[in-house]
Amino acid sequence: MSHPREQQLEELEALTAIFEREIEFADKGLAKLFEEDVPGRSIPDHQRIAFDLNFSLALDEGALEPLGGAASEVPEVFLHLCCELPLEYPRKPARCEVTLADGVGMTDAEMVALNKELAVRCEAASAAEEQAIYTTAMHAKQVAEEHYARTCEQLAKAYAMQQAEAAALRDNYGSAAESPSRATITRTFFWSHHTRRKQLLIYEWAAELRISGRLTVSRPGYTFVEGTPSDMKEFTKRNMGEHWKEIRITWSETAEPPPGDSVTEGNEPVSGDGLRLFPDGMKEVLVDEFIEEFRALGREDILEEGTRGAVRVRREVQEERGRGGKKPARR
CA 27 → CA 126, 210, 301, distances in Å?
24, 54, 50
Region 88-108 average pLDDT: 84
Between 132 and 156, residue with greater pLDDT? 132
pLDDT tens-digit map of 206-248: 999 999 999 998 888 899 999 999 999 999 998 888 877 788 8
Residue type, 226: E
Contact (Cβ atoms closer than 8 angstroms) between residue 251 and residue 273 = no
Kindly tell me if the per-residue pLDDT of 316 is higher than 90: no
Where does the chain hold its CATH 3.30.70.100 domain(s)?
178-258+269-322
pLDDT band at 251 (very low <50, low <70, confident <90, very high): very high
Determine what percent of the chain is predicted with pLDDT higher than 90: 35
pLDDT of residue 174: 42
Region 176-204 average pLDDT: 73
What average pLDDT does the structure give for the chain?
79
pLDDT of residue 41: 80
Between 176 and 83, residue with greater pLDDT? 83
Where does the chain hold its CATH 3.10.110.10 domain(s)?
4-154
CA 125 → CA 3, 31, 43, 94, 121, distances in Å?
17, 25, 22, 9, 6
Residue type, 207: A
Measure the CA–CA gap between 236 and 233, rounded to whole angstroms: 5
Measure the CA–CA gap between 198 and 247, rounded to whole angstroms: 12
Question: What kind of architecture, by CATH, is found in domain 178-258+269-322?
Answer: 2-Layer Sandwich (3.30)
pLDDT of residue 177: 36
pLDDT band at 298 (very low <50, low <70, confident <90, very high): very high
Q: Tell me which of 3.40.50.300, 3.40.50.12160, 3.60.70.12, 3.10.110.10 is the CATH number of domain 4-154.
A: 3.10.110.10
